[in-house]
A and B are shown apart, each in its own frame.
Chain A
Amino acid sequence: QQQVKQSPQSLIVQKGGISIINCAYENTAFDYFPWYQQFPGKGPALLIAIRPDVSEKKEGRFTISFNKSAKQFSLHIMDSQPGDSATYFCAFHTGGFKTIFGAGTRLFVKA
């Protein structure tokens, strides 16, 4: 069973700080790694995604870093804002139809 392990389970960061969420995967067959952001009462929405042939992708304050040898990828949120408070899911897509999600990280950014 392909799995992706996400940490930490919850995270509290001061406004302006850096939020870091990590994910480790087991399978080596993959297409890409998406991250989804979910606000309370809403469904998850794609935030950013990275292909395995690049080591980093940046979109605004959000950066994905990918370490293929360590089988890890991480999301960095620079200059974290209270509006970033949400649950973040890393995910793992293997080329089939299933997207396997991590357990989620609840981020709270203190004003």
Chain B
Amino acid sequence: GAGVSQSPSNKVTEKGKDVELRCDPISGHTALYWYRQSLGQGLEFLIYFQGNSAPDKSGLPSDRFSAERTGGSVSTLTIQRTQQEDSAVYLCASSLASTGYNSPLHFGNGTRLTVT
């Protein structure tokens, strides 16, 4: 079946502009995550959605970052007033439930964001 889909695959924006990144999780997956991967770095947790529960936003680096998940499916990560340090690959992942041994993360291919 279809995997996690992210769009756009690449985004170049000017400093100070707002950007929206989209994630379509695997159908039936109730948990959705956003991670950030800077060049040559590991995966930095940003935010987590599980069903209809309030999202855990503890990883968002500043109040310029926000995310929504509509109808328990599609999610949008919004970055306002982008800064050059926001340049990174933003990865979305979904899982069947909260992750466990039998419920691994399934990642999309990411959105590469470049802030000029």
Binding site for B on A (CB under 8 A): 6, 31-32, 34, 36, 41-46, 49, 51, 89, 93, 96-104, 106
Question: Considering the chains assembled together, what is the distance between the CA atoms of A102 and B37 in angstroms?
Answer: 12
Would A43 and B45 count as touching, CB distance under 8 A? Answer: no
Would B99 and A49 count as touching, CB distance under 8 A? Answer: no
Min distance, Cβ A23 to any Cβ of chain B, angstroms: 11
Min distance, Cβ A105 to any Cβ of chain B, angstroms: 10
Question: Does residue B21 face the partner (Cβ distance < 8 Å to A)?
Answer: no
Binding site for A on B (CB under 8 A): 4, 31, 33, 35, 40-43, 45, 48, 50, 56, 91, 93, 98-101, 104-110
Min distance, Cβ B14 to any Cβ of chain A, angstroms: 24
Question: Considering the chains assembled together, what is the distance between the CA atoms of A34 and B106 in angstroms?
Answer: 12
A-side contacts of B108, CB under 8 Å? 43
Min distance, Cβ B26 to any Cβ of chain A, angstroms: 12
A-side contacts of B98, CB under 8 Å? 96-97
Q: Choose among A46, A51, A89, A96 the residue that contacts B43 (Cβ–Cβ < 8 A).
A: A89
A-side contacts of B100, CB under 8 Å? 31-32, 93
